[in-house]
Structure 1
Amino acid sequence: MNNYSAQTHKKMKQLLILPVLIMIIFSACKKNSYYEDTGINDPRFNGTIMDYIKSDTLYFDTLVRVVKYAGLEESLSKDPLTFFAPPDPCFKKILDAVSEYQLRVGADSVTRFEQIKPEVWKQFLQMYLFPGNRGLKDYTQVDTLALDTYKGALFESVSNAPMNIGVIFNDAISGNPNSAGGSTVLKYQGYRQLMLSYVPDQARPYSFWINAVVSASDVAPTNGRVHRLRYMTHTFGFDPFSFIQAAREKGIDYN
């Protein structure tokens, strides 16, 4: 190939590559703008606590129905409250527990929450409701392995149920565990999450807790705060036997 042909070939190659480079750069710019860190999402919700749980049908469809059935819709729409909201699977777990108990004692099973009296649902829903507006930053640290030092704080729910609320300070890992230097555990330096605990024995307020960990905190409707509980590790009512006992005492509807 002579010099003229070689130069012509080189120029043609450059002309072909140039549009491809432009497309790559343009795509990269678009991708960078898409992934640009825009900061923390606004936790405020333009509506009441009731409006918020109605809006989140993925997690709270059953909760909304139970709240209405229990007669708490007005309270969640007007009162200044902090709500540790149990997602829908928590209700399925307690209904399953009721049914299993019923079958063990030779009674009919329970398949619908309406078979249990509204006052029972109200009593146990109020365990998750607290007067006032409190976010994660308003609670003290809790460590169930070091309660002498980090014990959270005792609260009464709106139904006067004894509860403990605290912030878990998780550990952080620094370094690569597969490297020569290994990794270092940084005590209490990781992410923080709220924990709501039922205190079954008031005479021993730091014993026998039944814990519910928060998976998403600090949603701020106009009349308070909502903290969504982690449904995988929580059954509605905290203590299934207490719920079953209350449901049976009030009478179960088999129609």
Structure 2
Amino acid sequence: MRKILLLLSLTALFACKKGMEQYRNARPVSEVSVSTYDFLRQQGALYDTLLRLIDAVHLTDTLKNQQVTFFVPQDVSIETAMKNLNFARERLGEPGNWTLDSVPLAVWDSLLRRYIVRGIVDADSLRYADGSDLISLYGHEMNGKTSSTNASGAVGGGTQLLVYSDKNDSRFTKDWSTALTQNVDIHSKNGLMHILESQHVFGFTSFVGKAYPRSLEPIQGPYLGYPIEIPGILNAADYDEGPKEIAYHYKNPDGGKAYRNDDPGTENCSEGDNLISPGGRYNIGWISDGDWVRYTVDIKDTGKYKLELRIAGNGGGIVYLLIDDIPVSDEIAVPNTGGWQNWQSVFGTADLPEGKHLMKVVFKKANLNLHRIIFTKL
């Protein structure tokens, strides 16, 4: 009798384990009797914005009659993308009031097609270590891969999901932008749907740049994040952030990089301090004839100012100032100080207008280092 009971117990145990494994690996597959487009239409307000855009770019027939797999972004994903777009506009000083209609249809068309793949791409077809490379409409490279969440301490025992990635024209996964699914393998009359989770931002990382190309331009503006106040001290190493010919014109890109990594050379200054800003510890050098650096300044009062330039070098230099590309100072001659870190003051004057302006320090003749300029109202 004991043997029979033990055998029955073992049989029940293995049957229970088998049932658990079947349940753990089960993946519900939904099927609807309408087209992909009509299914989304039936979901109430969840996809109103998405469908409006689909209609606008003439993808309606594709989602009604063609066999495609649609990785479906939710309306909240589009709303988040629009918020990011308007934030970028405000950051660059433009009104953050763009609506869906402000974005060119070509942008919506291009990015919506990244979510659509021809044919049936179900979860089972993506069960590879590196996933499967997919080609979206318009031939953009994507990648799909299955993944599983953890549940009740069981690694990989939770819900199955897909990772859908925009490869961003790179074979390196570190460059990819990814989205996770909320529901997978919903079969429609003409295709298949995978619903992306609400945290996904529409367009992956491409939407803002395509809709508002100015956001891709290098950051321009004051290096410290705020204009340099005049009267006051302008540290030469705190020239504006921005690309060559915007923030600076420098012929020699091979100078020191003690403080900044762009072309104007920076080095530790023997008389440096950081009382005004970290840039006070450094000077600029490796200057060639005709070079200039730009500063965003906030001039408190219109009038004449005394300029005290702290310079070092072998002599023969000539420096002057521009405000908004208009000369405002006399040409200041720079003598030989006896060494590249032997600092002396040279003086000049400038007529400056009140308000925020772009100031350029122009080196008509070089052969000098510049640490700072001290502005005093006369």
TM-score over 0.5 (shorter chain):
yes
Report the counterpart of residue 35 of structure 1 in structure 2.
Answer: none
Q: Secondary structure at the match of 2:31?
A: coil
User: Residues 213 and 112 of structure 1: is their aligned pair in 2 closer, same or farther, counting only changes over 3 Å?
Assistant: same
Larger relative contact order, structure 1 or 2 (CA cutoff 8 Å, min sep 6)? 1
Q: Is 1:105 aligned with 2:92?
A: yes
Select which of 92, 96, 117 maps to 2:83: 96
- The answer on whether the counterparts of 1:201 and 1:207 sit within 8 Å (CA) in structure 2 is no
- The count of aligned residue pairs is 189
Select which of 152, 161, 168 maps to 1:193: 161
Please list every run of 5 or more consecutive structure 2 residues that lacks an aligned counterpart in the other structure.
1-26, 215-378
For 1:171, give the aligned amino acid: N
Kindly state the Cα deviation for residue 69 of structure 1 after the two structures are TM-superposed.
Answer: 1.5
Report the counterpart of residue 212 of structure 2 in structure 1.
Answer: 248
Deviations 1:156-206 (A, max 9, x none): 211222211011022343xxxxxxxxxxx43333321111111124242x2
Q: Which runs of 4+ in 1 moved over 3 A?
A: none
Give the alignment of 1:196-235 within 5 angstroms: 196-204=164-172, 206-231=173-198, 233-235=199-201
- The answer on whether the counterparts of 1:199 and 1:207 sit within 8 Å (CA) in structure 2 is no
Kindly state the Cα deviation for residue 59 of structure 1 after the two structures are TM-superposed.
Answer: 2.1
User: Residues 41 and 246 of structure 1: is their aligned pair in 2 closer, same or farther, counting only changes over 3 Å?
Assistant: closer
Kindly state the Cα deviation for residue 111 of structure 1 after the two structures are TM-superposed.
Answer: 3.8
Percent sequence identity over matched residues? 22
User: Residues 216 and 203 of structure 1: is their aligned pair in 2 closer, same or farther, counting only changes over 3 Å?
Assistant: closer
Larger radius of gyration: 2
Kindly state the Cα deviation for residue 112 of structure 1 after the two structures are TM-superposed.
Answer: 1.8
- Compare the two structures and name the one with the higher helix fraction: 1
d(CA) in 2 for partners of 1:46, 1:246: 37
- The answer on whether the counterparts of 1:98 and 1:110 sit within 8 Å (CA) in structure 2 is no
d(CA) in 2 for partners of 1:63, 1:244: 17
Give the alignment of 1:1-255 within 5 angstroms: 43-141=30-128, 150-173=129-152, 185-204=153-172, 206-231=173-198, 233-239=199-205, 242-248=206-212
User: Residues 42 and 162 of structure 1: is their aligned pair in 2 closer, same or farther, counting only changes over 3 Å?
Assistant: closer
State the superposition RMSD in angstroms. Answer: 2.2
TM-score by structure 2 length? 0.47
d(CA) in 1 for partners of 2:28, 2:161: 17
User: Residues 45 and 83 of structure 1: is their aligned pair in 2 closer, same or farther, counting only changes over 3 Å?
Assistant: same
User: Residues 41 and 248 of structure 1: is their aligned pair in 2 closer, same or farther, counting only changes over 3 Å?
Assistant: closer
d(CA) in 2 for partners of 1:55, 1:69: 19
d(CA) in 1 for partners of 2:59, 2:170: 27
d(CA) in 1 for partners of 2:113, 2:150: 32
- The answer on whether the counterparts of 2:29 and 2:185 sit within 8 Å (CA) in structure 1 is no
Q: Secondary structure at the match of 2:209?
A: helix
Deviations 1:48-69 (A, max 9, x none): 1111111112421111111112
